[in-house]
């Protein structure tokens, strides 16, 4: 009887512990992201700078979740938090899950900018999963990865560096 109680309490601890851990991890990631964006002077936007991200069939299935407008290294940009539904197979059962992606929209770019990022996406470098030129102009670059402070900081720096080099 004692072993059954132990197993029951252990299963209960896991059943409660995993959701609590995931909730706290998500909250900590967003706290770090928000702190970084506030330090750099980015401001929250209520709407997407790219209308296609809010339509029924957005490019590559990326749906707008949040946006933050600002500048990095004198390059104007909007940091985007995007979501995409993806199928995962677990024990032979297909399930839908929402994956979070980080995107950056740069409204003013030089001619080499999009080509440089498209090469990275095709070569599957730096976790780049999507590059496009939206109807609003500029470029949209999307990366796979958690929206942590470190990820966003490195992506914003990479975008700013290439945008400055590719200016006309």
Q: Which residues pair with 142 in a beta bridge?
A: 103, 130
End-to-end CA distance of the chain: 76
Label residue 95 by pLDDT band (50, 70, 90): confident
**Structure tokens, 45:** 């936007």
List of residues 6+ apart from 54 with CB closer than 8 A: 47, 48, 63, 64
**Chain-centroid distance, C-alpha 3:** 45
3-state secondary structure 76-125: EEEEEEEEEEEEEEECCEEEEEEEEEEEEEECCCCHHHHHHHHHHHHCCC
pLDDT tens profile 70-90: 999 889 999 999 989 888 787
pLDDT tens profile 135-160: 888 899 999 887 888 888 999 999 98
Label residue 115 by pLDDT band (50, 70, 90): confident
């Amino acid at each position: 009887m004692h072993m059954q109680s132990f197993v029951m309490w252990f299963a209960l601890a896991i059943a409660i512990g995993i959701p609590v851990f995931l909730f706290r991890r998500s909250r900590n990631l967003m706290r770090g992201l928000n702190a970084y964006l506030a330090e750099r002077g980015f401001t929250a936007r209520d709407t997407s700078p790219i209308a296609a991200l809010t339509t029924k069939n957005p490019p590559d299935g990326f749906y707008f979740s949040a946006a933050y407008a600002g500048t990095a290294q004198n390059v104007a940009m909007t940091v985007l938090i995007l979501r995409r539904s993806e199928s995962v197979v677990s024990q032979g059962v297909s399930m839908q899950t929402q994956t979070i992606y980080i995107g950056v929209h740069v409204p003013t770019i030089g001619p080499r900018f999009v080509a440089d990022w498209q090469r990275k996406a095709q070569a599957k470098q730096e976790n780049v999963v999507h590059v496009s030129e939206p109807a609003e102009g500029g470029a949209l670059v999307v990366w796979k990865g958690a929206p942590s402070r470190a990820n966003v900081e490195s992506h914003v720096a990479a975008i700013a560096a290439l945008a400055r080099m590719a200016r006309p």
